[in-house]
């Protein structure tokens, strides 16, 4: 049987030739468009609705999200070890890791500042007729009460506040039980352990080689599983999009929340089509739009599944096979990115929070906006790559701004205000998840220059 363990540049060519690659993208697109159309028909009641959007979404989760999620943690563990051991030299790894983190924080900050500027300039929550505001507020409060799951999660996040969010991140960075990290899906803890183990295996020289070879072949085997699961993407995306649109309806864009949604979408658009391509063009010789096209399978999967974590297997496969990213870079940068780098979420949180304050008529000063920028970045880092995670961690931002307002004796924003945006969140979540994954991919492409697969080029890059 053929083994791909030593064929680093093309894990999958024989199973997944270019022609089939095109076919799968076309099928995903068909699933997406068909889902949007059917969803809209179901939403308007034009065809007999089979249950609510929820049942379509549950089916979509069964078909696509669960199989992908099954692969995520093994892949994170194996991918980081393979990445770290192939980069080898710890000082080289320090440069790669440092640049990666710098890129993550700089782009998240750029996204969140853009969001804060746009929402302040457009002011989608200000100037609405009084009755519209009153009805939005009461609908929002009812929605919040109904959503018991989210309500619980938000309550906990608010109680723990900013300190709790830091503590949660720190506890993952210093894990105490590897299996507990795995069992609880705490990806950051798994990454940290894989990183340390990878460094140790590289440090023991020949004694580490058998383990490294085994882990590499396990990684390649898991990637083969990813390719199989990829065939489920079109149908999964179809079901998930049908469910989402059936529930929310595309006409939400023209409703009272339309201006808010368009502000988020405009920000995401600018970040995805201007800022990130600009960064890529300046710091690497790659054509950013060509790269975006090469990454289409991962971007469409992110849009459909609403989860950067579930998309991670596809992101790694696409970045290496289609996007020309080195395995050294993709294996290391993408798992970390899917966990901490969330440009779309950061931007969205800034817009959403300021919008709610506008709707409740609470004026924010420049200092409050700075708090929004800082805490939204942290909240995005703390958000897991799963649907609605950004909605929950947003509570941290609201609580921080409320504390600052309390210092000036201003009435705080009730947490229940988040109910106003819950209803339309899924559509925005699909878009911000796509931007999150795009940001990770751009990072992998940039770091490819620092950690190319070619040994000679690596020496050169090392100076
Ligand atoms: N769904 C997003 C992701 O998976 C996280 C969020 O913003 O809710 O990247």
Alpha carbon of 108 to ligand 1 centroid (Å): 14
Q: What is the pLDDT of residue 456?
A: 65
Alpha carbon of 347 to ligand 1 centroid (Å): 12
Distance CA 125, CA 260 (A): 7
Going by C-alpha positions, the residue among 430, 400, 432 that lies closest to residue 415 is: 400
Distance CA 210, CA 366 (A): 57
| 93-98 own/partner pairs: CB under 8 Å, 24+ apart | 93/199, 95/450, 96/329, 96/332, 96/333, 96/447, 96/450, 96/451, 97/332
pLDDT, mean of residues 414-435:
90
Tokens for 132, please give them. 């519209």
Write phi, then psi, for 88 (nearest 5 degrees).
75, -90
User: Higher confidence at residue 147 or residue 71?
Assistant: 71
What are the tens digits of pLDDT across the range 334-351?
A: 999 998 899 999 999 999
Q: Is residue 3 very low, low, confident or very high in pLDDT (cuts 50, 70, 90)?
A: very low
Q: What atom in ligand 1 is closest to the CA of residue 429?
A: 1
- From 345, 392, 394, the mutation candidate for ligand 1 (largest count of ligand atoms within 8 A of CB) is 345
Alpha carbon of 426 to ligand 1 centroid (Å): 10
Q: What is the pLDDT of residue 135?
A: 80
In this model, does residue 391 exceed pLDDT 90? no
In this model, does residue 363 exceed pLDDT 70? yes
Q: What is the pLDDT of residue 457?
A: 63
Q: What is the pLDDT of residue 7?
A: 44
What are the tens digits of pLDDT across the range 198-236?
A: 999 988 989 999 999 999 999 999 989 988 898 999 999
Give this prediction's pTM: 0.86
Rounded to the nearest 10 degrees, the angle between the axes of helix 389-407 and helix 148-173 is 90
Distance CA 311, CA 432 (A): 13
pLDDT, mean of residues 84-105:
87
Distances (CA, A) of 260 to 109, 270, 395, 418: 21, 16, 18, 13
Q: Is residue 271 very low, low, confident or very high in pLDDT (cuts 50, 70, 90)?
A: very high
Query: Could you tell me the domains of the chain?
Result: 2-462 (1.10.3860.10)
Alpha carbon of 360 to ligand 1 centroid (Å): 26
Alpha carbon of 132 to ligand 1 centroid (Å): 29
Tokens for 398, please give them. 């609201």
Residue 338 near residue 185, CB atoms below 8 Å: no
Per the document, the length of the chain is 463
Residues in the ligand 1 pocket, defined by CB under 6 Å: 306-309, 342, 345, 383, 385-390, 429, 432-433, 436
- From 343, 386, 397, the mutation candidate for ligand 1 (largest count of ligand atoms within 8 A of CB) is 386
What are the tens digits of pLDDT across the range 153-208?
A: 777 777 777 777 778 778 888 999 999 988 988 888 999 999 999 999 988 989 99
What are the tens digits of pLDDT across the range 6-62?
A: 444 444 444 444 556 778 888 999 998 999 999 888 887 766 555 567 788 899 999
Alpha carbon of 424 to ligand 1 centroid (Å): 14
Residue 437 near residue 311, CB atoms below 8 Å: yes
Q: What is the pLDDT of residue 103?
A: 95
Alpha carbon of 346 to ligand 1 centroid (Å): 10
pLDDT, mean of residues 318-333:
92
Q: What atom in ligand 1 is closest to the CA of residue 384?
A: 5
- The rounded Cα 31 to chain-centroid distance in angstroms is 21
Q: For the chain, report the end-to-end CA distance as a whole number of angstroms.
A: 40
Of the CA atoms within 13 Å of residue 176, those in its CB half-sphere come to 3
- From 115, 382, 383, 438, the mutation candidate for ligand 1 (largest count of ligand atoms within 8 A of CB) is 383
CA angle (435 as vertex; 449, 278 as ends), nearest 5:
50
Distance CA 422, CA 241 (A): 17
Of 258-272, 276-290, 381-395, give the lowest mean pLDDT range. Answer: 381-395
Of the CA atoms within 13 Å of residue 173, those in its CB half-sphere come to 9
Q: What is the CB neighbour count within 10 angstroms for residue 279?
A: 19
Round the average pLDDT of the chain to a whole number and report it.
Answer: 86
Distances (CA, A) of 303 to 31, 58, 238, 336: 12, 16, 11, 20
Q: What is the pLDDT of residue 47?
A: 61
Q: What atom in ligand 1 is closest to the CA of residue 386?
A: 4
Write phi, then psi, for 257 (nearest 5 degrees).
-90, 5
């Amino acid at each position: 049987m053929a083994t791909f363990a030593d064929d680093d540049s093309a894990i999958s060519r024989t199973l997944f030739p270019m022609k089939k690659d095109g076919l799968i993208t076309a099928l995903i697109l068909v699933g997406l468009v068909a889902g949007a159309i059917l969803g809209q028909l179901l939403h308007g009641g034009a065809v007999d609705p089979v249950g609510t959007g929820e049942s379509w979404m549950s089916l979509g989760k069964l078909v696509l999200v669960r199989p992908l999620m099954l692969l995520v943690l093994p892949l994170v563990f194996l991918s980081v070890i393979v990445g770290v051991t192939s980069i080898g030299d710890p000082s080289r790894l320090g440069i790669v890791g440092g640049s990666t983190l710098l890129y993550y924080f700089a782009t998240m900050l750029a996204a969140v500042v853009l969001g804060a500027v746009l929402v302040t300039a457009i002011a989608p929550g200000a100037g609405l007729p009084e009755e519209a505001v009153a009805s939005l507020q009461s609908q929002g409060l009812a929605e919040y009460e109904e959503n018991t799951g989210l309500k619980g999660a938000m309550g906990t996040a608010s109680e723990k506040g900013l300190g709790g969010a830091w503590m949660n991140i720190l506890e993952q960075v210093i894990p105490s039980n590897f299996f507990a990290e795995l069992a609880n899906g705490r990806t950051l803890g798994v990454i940290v352990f894989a990183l340390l183990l990878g460094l140790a295996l590289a440090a023991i020289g020949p004694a580490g080689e058998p383990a490294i070879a085994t882990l590499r072949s396990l990684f390649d085997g898991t990637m083969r599983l990813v390719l199989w699961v990829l065939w489920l993407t079109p149908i999964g995306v179809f079901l998930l999009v049908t469910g989402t649109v059936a529930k929310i309806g595309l006409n939400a864009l023209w409703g009272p929340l339309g201006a808010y949604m368009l502000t988020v979408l405009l920000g995401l658009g600018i970040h995805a089509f201007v800022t990130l391509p600009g960064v890529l063009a300046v710091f690497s010789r790659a054509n950013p739009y060509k790269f975006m096209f090469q990454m289409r399978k991962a971007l469409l999967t992110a849009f459909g599944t609403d989860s950067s974590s579930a998309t991670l297997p596809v992101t790694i496969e696409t970045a290496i096979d289609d996007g020309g990213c080195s395995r050294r870079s993709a294996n290391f940068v993408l798992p970390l990115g899917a966990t901490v780098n969330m440009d779309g979420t950061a931007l969205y949180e800034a817009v959403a929070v300021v919008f709610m304050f506008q709707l409740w008529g609470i004026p924010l000063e420049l200092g409050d906006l700075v708090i929004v920028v800082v805490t939204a970045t942290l909240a995005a880092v703390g958000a897991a790559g799963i649907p609605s995670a950004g909605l929950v961690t947003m509570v941290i931002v609201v609580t921080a701004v409320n504390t600052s307002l309390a210092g000036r004796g201003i009435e705080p924003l009730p947490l229940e205000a988040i109910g106003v945006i819950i209803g339309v969140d899924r559509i925005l979540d699909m878009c911000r998840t796509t931007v999150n994954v795009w940001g990770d991919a751009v990072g992998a492409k940039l770091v490819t220059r620092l950690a190319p697969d070619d040994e000679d080029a690596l020496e050169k890059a090392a100076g």
